[in-house]
Amino acid sequence: MKKNRLLALVVSVLTGFAAFSCNQSGKGPTDTATTGSIKISVDESFAPIVDSQIQVFESLYKYAQIEAVYKPEAQVMQDLLNDTIRFAILARELNAQEKAEFDRVKITPRVFKIAIDGIALILNKENTDTTLTLQQVRNIFTGKTTNWKQLDPAAKDGKITIVFDNSNSSTARFIQDSINLKKPLPANTYASTSNAKLVDYVAQNRNAIGVIGVNWISERADSTAISFLKKVNVVGISKKDNPASVDDYVQPYQGYLAQGTYPLKREVFIISREARAGLGTGFASFITGDKGQRIILKSGLVPASMPVRIVGFSEEE
């Protein structure tokens, strides 16, 4: 009987050691919901907010390491489909073709809505006419309006230059889908190589109009956002063709995103193909939980699961 117990103990120890060795050799998953390492692919327009999420998560869980790779939206989705990564953050859900691809390999991705974001239009500081109607925006991005004088006869003459961060970015896709109604962008459209360079280009070129994710300019406590806002003007947009007053124009502030009155708003999602409770699942739970949603609230975006309190002020006579 003692020999049998001893044998069982030895087998148990050896089995555990074999499993540990397998994990250490990289043949099996080594991460848990709060430990280990994972590489994730993220739409580059959400870099500021994801950096904040990772910083807080890793400070809470000392044995977790998350490496975020920031790419244009099209490349992020390709990483997910190719199984290069198992966790992505981007500004859309899966389309029918992508769902079919996951069905083919018998994988059901989990999708979590985490925030409401917006697309901001920015202008050079010399361009003082910082209000546009939605129809004027559509005319610019379809190529019907190519000169600032067409919008305001008193404006300085100048051919409009449209600038995106990347030709394959989520902001470019959003404009084509939501503003241009699938029509191509005009010939006066250009792409920079990063959001920082986009802001610099607009700051240096009077006739430029830039397209950027709101979270790059929304967090007033962030030094990068403050620096960007000093360089450019942010456009206020009206849904009305003939606005009665300046109050009909709204900028991409958090309250207007929450109310739905800012026209260029979009949603942000986590898409995970992780089949078990690994670090990706733990990070997703953190972002959708109380702490992660508060980080989104602080960033100037609208959290998916926390109410945004909108305070109104009235002048007392």
* 134 lies in the same domain as 199: yes
Residue 128's pLDDT is what?
82
199 contacts 231 by C-beta, under 8 angstroms: yes
Q: Which residues lie closer than 8 Å to 272 by C-beta, 6 or more apart?
A: 86, 87, 88, 109, 110, 111, 112, 280, 281, 284
For residue 251, the 8-state DSSP code is: -
* 131 lies in the same domain as 251: yes
Q: Is residue 314 part of a domain?
A: no
Q: Is residue 260 part of a domain?
A: yes
Tell me how many domains the chain contains. 2
* 147 lies in the same domain as 48: no
* 192 lies in the same domain as 136: yes
* 152 lies in the same domain as 200: yes
The model's pTM is 0.84
* 136 lies in the same domain as 254: yes
Q: Is residue 317 part of a domain?
A: no
* 90 lies in the same domain as 103: yes
Q: Is residue 58 part of a domain?
A: yes
Residue 17's pLDDT is what?
34
CA distance 188 to 160: 7
List the pLDDT tens digit at each of the 317 positions of the chain. 444 444 333 333 333 333 333 444 445 568 999 999 999 999 999 999 999 999 999 999 999 999 999 999 999 999 999 999 999 999 999 999 999 999 999 999 999 999 999 999 999 999 988 999 999 999 999 999 999 999 988 888 899 999 999 888 999 999 999 999 999 999 999 999 889 999 999 999 999 999 999 988 876 556 666 678 889 999 999 999 999 999 999 999 999 999 999 999 999 999 999 988 899 999 999 999 999 999 999 998 999 986 555 544 444 44
- Range of 193's domain? 118-265
* 148 lies in the same domain as 247: yes
* 256 lies in the same domain as 278: no
Q: Is residue 1 part of a domain?
A: no
* 194 lies in the same domain as 241: yes
What is the CATH number for 261?
3.40.190.10
Q: Using one digit for the tens of pLDDT, what is the confidence trace for 280-293?
A: 999 999 999 999 99
Q: Is residue 206 part of a domain?
A: yes
* 177 lies in the same domain as 205: yes
* 129 lies in the same domain as 259: yes
CA distance 163 to 158: 15
